[in-house]
Chain A
Amino acid sequence: EHMFQSTCRYEKNWPICADDDWGTKCPSGCRMQGLIDETDEDYSHRTDKIKKLLAENQNNYKK
């Protein structure tokens, strides 16, 4: 496991990207999927909260 971690670090020793690199060098698909899933989860939570609040307040208003 220690060997694996040290090769990992060595292979990540890339130079910092320039603005021109965008389009020819792109993020990993795994990383993008992770970001998309994370955002989707956050938005689902927030829309659920909004729906819940709306329903609750609608009931309060009717009483």
Chain B
Amino acid sequence: SSLQYLATRENCCILDERFGSYCPTTCGIADFFNKYHLTMDNELQEMERILQQITN
């Protein structure tokens, strides 16, 4: 995709082209997922709470 982050000599000090293209580790994915999960869950809970008040 156009958002792909390409590894170069400047931004990746362990770059070795023989190993193919670089991707985030699943630790990075899990960290992002946790952050996303926390914010989304809080926002949804807030909306659910407000809607509950309106319905009552």
A interface vs B, CB < 8 Å? 22-23, 25-29, 31-32, 35-36, 39, 43, 46-47, 49-50, 53-54, 57
- B13, CB-defined interface residue at 8 Å: no
Tell me what chain A mostly uses at the interface: helix, strand, loop, or mixed.
helix
Q: Check B6 for interface membership: any CB of A closer than 8 A.
A: no
Q: Name the CB-closest residue of B to A35.
A: B33
Residue in contact with A28 in the complex, picked from B26, B51, B54, B55, CB distance below 8 Å: B26
Residues of A within 8 A of B55 (CB): 53, 57
Nearest residue, chain A, Cβ from B40: A43
A32 in contact with B26 given A43-B40, A53-B55, A57-B54 (CB within 8 Å): yes
**Is the pair A53, B51 in contact by a Cβ cutoff of 8 Å?**
yes
Least CB distance from B13 to A in Å reads: 16
